[in-house]
Structure formats: structure tokens, C-alpha cells
Amino acid sequence: MLKKRIIPCLDIKDGRVVKGVNFVELRDAGDPVESAKEYNDLGADELVFLDITATKEKRKTLAKLVEKVAAQVFIPLTVGGGIRTVEDMQFILRAGADKVSINSAAVKNPDLVREGALKFGSQCIVGAVDAAKRDSGAGWEIFVHGGSKETGIDLIEWVKELEKLGAGEILLTSINSDGTKDGFDLEMLKAVTDAVNIPVIASGGAGSIQHFIDVFKKTGADAALAASIFHFGEIAIRDVKSELVKAEIPVRIEKRK
């Protein structure tokens, strides 16, 4: 049986790991290569790097960073941030990333997802989506540009579209929950995991081990992502996993002979 994945996310700014609350107030949280190595040793199932300041000039810096991490860390690596063209994807994948995540660029140009999936395979394309509850309370709307710009596009329509275009996975961040440590947005996640047949990574709101148990018990999420609670050592991945096992949620823990 496939295991539920625990994924630390490293937000990268100018080559450093940072973490903000509700997409602002960035705090420095360390060297990405060292963080990646440590997470690998601690039992992270996968890593996500999001370059939150990615620009064309900085693309090379990011690729170098990916290359360094990929030489030392042998678990799946997803890289996102400012990927706008198939060439951008190729550049990052060639540097050693296993998947690229596309967010605003997919909204602006949905064909990018299709072209990426055709060229590199769906498994390489992660559709990253930032969404928030509509003011009216009826459903959710997606936001672009780091969660700052509303689009009017319905979340459920969009994730279905991403699946159709060939995205292999959805990385869903709840803007309402992100940084709050009040728990994952279970209602939103349930709606999305019910709507698509591709794996969904839950993001935004993890603050305790119980939140991880809840997200796997109450939604169809395949993976849970968190940043600050792991970076600042508030919760150890190992403890999350051993509690998940007790709650009968399948996770990757090796049984030594």
C-alpha cells in the first residue's frame, strides 16, 4: 500500500530558507542544502522548494541550489517559483529536480501545464494552487502571485481543469489557514480530493501532530506539507510519523531486520 507522505516545504529567498505568516513577514530559517540533508535524515518523504523571489536572473542561482541538493539528498524534490515556460521547466528538471510546481503561470497560460506534461510526463508537473474561501461563503476562489491577487476562478473548476491538462499532482494551499497553525483546511481539502483523481498535497495550517492525523483521517489528501513547524523544530517529522502509525495511517517507517 502507498504511504501517506510528510513533506517539509522550504521557501527560498535569495538562496536562504524563509518562512512567512500569511505570505508576509518573512523570517530566515537556514541554509537550504543543510536543511534538505537534515530532513532526509529525519524521515521526510519528499521535499518541496519554492523560490518566492524567482526572477529570470535568479533562475541560475536556483538551478545551482537544486543541483547541490540533488547531489546529497536522494528523495523526491519538487521545485517551484516563477516557472513560466517549458524551457524554465527543463532547466530546473535538468538541474536535478523531479517535479516542477506551476502556480500563477498555469492560470495565465493553462497550455503550459499541457505542454509540460506532454514533454516531461504528468508525474513531473505539480499544479500548485492557492485558494481562499469566497466572502459569500460559497466555495473557494484561487489567488495568484503568492496569494496576493484574486482571480475570480472557482477552486473546484480549476483543479479539475489542472487534472485534465495533465498535472500529476495538486499542491493545495489554503490562504485562510496558511501560517495560522490552527490546522489544515479540511473542508477545502475534502472538496478538492473528492473532485480529482490525482494526488493532493495538503498545505497551510499545520500546527500540531493532531492536525496531520486529522488531514489524513478526514480528507483524501495523499500528503501533508508544512514549513515553519518543521524548520523551527516545533514538531519532529519522526514524531508525526509514529503518531500517524498509532492512528493506523500508513506512513514510511523502516522495520530493521
Partner 1 sequence: MIAIIDYGAGNLKSIQKALEFVGEETVILEEGKNADLDKYAGLVLPGVGAFPGAMKRLKENNFVDFIEKFVVTGRPFLGVCLGMQLLFEWGFEDQKTAGLSLLKGNVIKMETDYKIPHMGWNQLEIIKNDPLFNGLPENPHFYFVHSYQLAEVTDEVLATVGYGTTVPAVIKKDNVIAFQFHPEKSGDNGIKLLENFRELL
Among all residues, which ones are annotated catalytic?
Answer: 11, 130
What x/- string results for residues 111 through 140 when contact with partner 1 is judged by CB under 8 A? ---------xxxxx----------------
Per-residue H/E/C for 146-209: CCCEEEEEEHHHHHHHHHHHCCCEEEEEECCCCCCCCCCCHHHHHHHHHHCCCCEEEECCCCCH
Nearer to partner 1, 119 or 145 (CB): 119
C-alpha cell at 161: 481543469
DSSP 34-66: HHHHHHHHHT-S-EEEEETT--TTTHHHHHHHH
- Residue 197 sits in the site that holds partner 1 (CB under 8 A): yes
221 forms part of the interface with partner 1 (CB under 8 A): no
**What CA–CA distance (Å, rounded) separates 220 from 234?**
26
Place of cell 488531514: 215
CB of 52 to partner 1, least distance (A): 24
- Amino acid letter, 92: I
Mask for 67-86, x = binds partner 1 (CB under 8 A): x--xxx-xxx----------
Name the segment binding partner 1 (CB under 8 A); options: 49-57, 91-99, 139-147, 226-234: 91-99
State which residue, 74 or 152, has the beta carbon closest to partner 1. 74
Site string for partner 1, 4-43 (x = CB under 8 A): -x----------------------------------x---
Three-class SS of residue 230? Answer: helix
Q: Which of 8, 168, 179, 207 binds partner 1 (CB under 8 A)?
A: 168
Greatest Cα pair distance in the chain: 56
Are the beta carbons of 31 and 17 closer than 8 angstroms?
yes
96 binds partner 1 per the rule CB under 8 A:
yes
Please tell me whether residue 222 binds partner 1 under the rule CB under 8 A.
Answer: yes
Q: Are 148 and 175 in contact (CB under 8 A)?
A: no
Could you give the CA distance from residue 108 to residue 33 in angstroms, rounded to a whole number? 32
**Which of 23, 120 has the CB closer to partner 1?**
120
Q: Is 257 in the site for partner 1 (CB under 8 A)?
A: yes
Q: Which helix (H) or strand (E) holds 126?
A: strand 125-133
Q: Which is closer to partner 1, CB of 63 or CB of 227?
A: 63
> Distance (Å, rounded) from C-alpha 170 to C-alpha 207?
21
Distance CA 70, CA 196 (A): 30
Binding segment toward partner 1, per CB under 8 A, in 1-9, 16-24, 151-159, 241-249: 1-9
Choice between 76 and 139, CB closer to partner 1 = 76
Q: Footprint of partner 1 on this chain (CB under 8 A)?
A: 1-3, 5, 40, 45, 67, 70-72, 74-76, 93-98, 120-124, 168-169, 197-199, 222-223, 252, 254-257
